[in-house]
Amino acid sequence: MKLTAEQISSNFEKFYNNINEYISDPRREKLIDFYTKFGERIIMMPASHKKEYHNAFPGGYVDHVNRVVDAALEINEIWKKFGAEQNYTIEELVFSAINHDLGKMGDSEHESYIPQTDQWRKDKLGEDYMHNKQIAFASVPDRGLFLLQEHDIKYTFNEMVAIQTHDGLYDPANDKYLKSYMPETKPRTSLPFILHQADMMAARVEFEKEWLPKFKGENGLDKSKENFTLNGNKKQATKNKALGSIKSEGLKNMLDKL
Ligand SMILES: [Fe+2]
């Protein structure tokens, strides 16, 4: 699966609009500054580095985050309808959704996911990206929270717990928050569960979009490899028009392969 340059561009516009609509100053301004500073990286980032995961294509990150924001707002309405205590704000919900996967960006200096250099892995395994070994290990939530504080963007206690636990029980590190049998140590808001449900649903839908069409082909797999790598079509003119402001050489190389 791949996004057109126009889709990538309009997704990024929607990403900014969510910040402007739901986040109040001074955090709104700081977030806009942050995402403008790292805009060239964020706009083209995949949501994951392997096709077997989700949205592992240029622009996949922002596409995923926007879907999680939309889903979180909708799912929140269902929780409200069923009586969930409203002891958190919509700003906290959206802030957590916008920044839940920020740690995937890497650190201030280095990107987490860089184009795969091993042609065999690219051709045979469909891995268009690989992890950047220049970055020391940190979990995605830890790195995201570090990036926020590094850029003087404050987050509330509710937001910290929601971002930290957004993978739910898929991440054993969350057991201490989510598997407690003592009432006093359970989360005090439903935010972590709402964000996790939104993230899980978005990732599932992204998986279905990517893979279910491939299973409909001969022998259960699509014969076309067009969508398996970045070397698909070459709509250079349209692409350049929509993303002409990209300065990074690395991104330009990646765009050339779109
Ligand atoms: Fe996510």
pTM score, whole prediction: 0.83
Structural contact between residues 111 and 129, judged by C-beta atoms closer than 8 angstroms? no
Phi, psi of 57 (to 5 degrees): -145, 165
**Of the candidates 214, 213, 211, 175, the residue with the CA atom closest to the CA atom of residue 192:** 175
Residues linked to residue 252 through DSSP beta bridges, in sequence order: none
What is the Cα–Cα distance from 34 to 47, expressed in whole angstroms?
A: 19
Owner of token pair 């799912």: 75
203 C-alpha to ligand 1 centroid (Å): 7
Residues linked to residue 114 through DSSP beta bridges, in sequence order: 130
72 C-alpha to ligand 1 centroid (Å): 11
pLDDT given for residue 23 in this prediction? 98
Please count the CA atoms within 13 angstroms of the CA of 121 that sit on its side-chain side: 11
65 C-alpha to ligand 1 centroid (Å): 7
pLDDT given for residue 255 in this prediction? 47
207 C-alpha to ligand 1 centroid (Å): 12
54 C-alpha to ligand 1 centroid (Å): 9
218 C-alpha to ligand 1 centroid (Å): 32
112 C-alpha to ligand 1 centroid (Å): 15
pLDDT given for residue 31 in this prediction? 98
101 C-alpha to ligand 1 centroid (Å): 5
SS3 173: helix
What is the Cα–Cα distance from 215 to 223, expressed in whole angstroms?
A: 10
What is the Cα–Cα distance from 114 to 227, expressed in whole angstroms?
A: 19
38 C-alpha to ligand 1 centroid (Å): 19
198 C-alpha to ligand 1 centroid (Å): 9
Q: Going by C-beta distance under 8 Å and a sequence separation of 6 or more, which residues neighbour residue 200?
A: 168
pLDDT given for residue 3 in this prediction? 92
199 C-alpha to ligand 1 centroid (Å): 5
170 C-alpha to ligand 1 centroid (Å): 12
| Tokens matching residue 3 | 């996004």
Tens-digit pLDDT profile for residues 120-164: 988 888 788 888 889 999 999 999 999 999 999 999 999 999 999
Angle at which helix 90-99 crosses helix 60-81, to 10 degrees, equals: 150
18 C-alpha to ligand 1 centroid (Å): 16
pLDDT given for residue 1 in this prediction? 78
Residues of the chain with pLDDT below 50 are 224-242, 249-250, 252-258
- List, in sequence order, the alpha helices (H) in the chain: 5-22, 27-37, 39-44, 60-81, 90-99, 119-125, 140-150, 157-164, 175-178, 191-215, 236-242, 249-256
122 C-alpha to ligand 1 centroid (Å): 24
Structural contact between residues 38 and 62, judged by C-beta atoms closer than 8 angstroms? no
Owner of token pair 């300065």: 247
DSSP 28-95: HHHHHHHHHHTHHHHHH--S-SSTTSS--STTHHHHHHHHHHHHHHHHHHHHHHTT----S-HHHHHH
